[in-house]
Amino acid sequence: MPDGLSDPSHTARQEWMALLAQASREEMEEAWRLMLPNPPYAILRKAETGLAMVRGRAGGTGNPFNLGEMTMTRCAVRLEAEPRVVGLSYIAGRDPRRAELAALFDALLQTPQLSADVKRTLLTPIRRRLDETRRVRAAESAATRVDFFTLVREQGVE
């Protein structure tokens, strides 16, 4: 589970939006294909690509400063059948289709009828993939853990 989400104040929606932000286009297209018949939707705000300024903190813990920007894309859709829920996406990168699909799944996850399906066909596989990548990285790094020995001068030597 992404870090920011271990915060107890987070909502289920924050959690799935974080997962959708890290979903590949293929993962979402595949889940969309599995969802037949596809629920109709309208685009409220066309996918728009721009920049997010990424901030750091002086010394890692102090006052914020602007580190540099990253590309991001946002999109808004509305389901055209009841419930006419609005879905939003804010995701890293420049792929408009990915942003549209992420917004669409954000909407579907808010519907009582389809949220269980989306969780099973999309969120679970994404979470599994992210966990696996992290697990491998962590295990490979752990193998490079090192113990340095300090060579202490013999007693009597100044």
Partner 1 sequence: MAYVAVKGGEKAIDAAHRLLAKERRGDPAVPELSLDQISQQLSLSVDRVMTEGSIYDRELAALAIKQARGDLVEAIFLLRAYRATLPRLAESKPIETNRMRARRRISAIFKDVPGGQVLGGTFDYTHRLLDFTLAAPSVFPDAEIAEPSDTMPPHVLAILGDEGLIQPERRDENLQNPPDLTREPLEFPAARATRLQNLARGDEGFLLSLGYSTQRGYGRNHPFAGEIRIGEVEVVIEPEELGFPVVIGEITVTECETVNQFSGSKSEPAQFTRGYGLTFGEAERKAMAMALVDRALRATELGEDVSAPAQDEEFVLYHSDNVEASGFVQHLKLPHYVDFQSELNIVRKIRGDEQVADEALAEGILA
Give whichever of 36 and 146 is closer to partner 1, judged by the CB atom: 146
Q: Please report whether residue 84 would count as binding partner 1 according to CB under 8 A.
A: no
| CA 87 – CA 103 distance, rounded (Å) | 5
- Of 2-21, which residues contact partner 1 (CB under 8 A)? 2-5, 11, 13-14, 17-18, 21
Positive or negative, the Cα torsion across 23, 34, 96, 47? negative
Interface characters, 101-130, with partner 1 (x: CB under 8 A): ------------------------------
| CA 83 – CA 74 distance, rounded (Å) | 22
Q: How far is the CB of 113 from partner 1 (least distance, A)?
A: 23
Please, which residues have CB within 8 angstroms of residue 38's CB and are 6 or more apart in sequence?
Answer: 32
Of 82, 148, 151, 152, the residue at the interface with partner 1 (CB under 8 A) is 148
Residues near partner 1 (CB under 8 A), total: 58
Give whichever of 65 and 82 is closer to partner 1, judged by the CB atom: 65
Please, which residues have CB within 8 angstroms of residue 98's CB and are 6 or more apart in sequence?
Answer: 23, 24, 25, 28, 73, 91
Of 33, 34, 69, 116, the residue at the interface with partner 1 (CB under 8 A) is 69
Q: How far is the CB of 36 from partner 1 (least distance, A)?
A: 29
Rounded to whole angstroms, what are the CA distances from 97 to 2, 57, 112? 23, 33, 25
Q: Please report whether residue 52 would count as binding partner 1 according to CB under 8 A.
A: yes
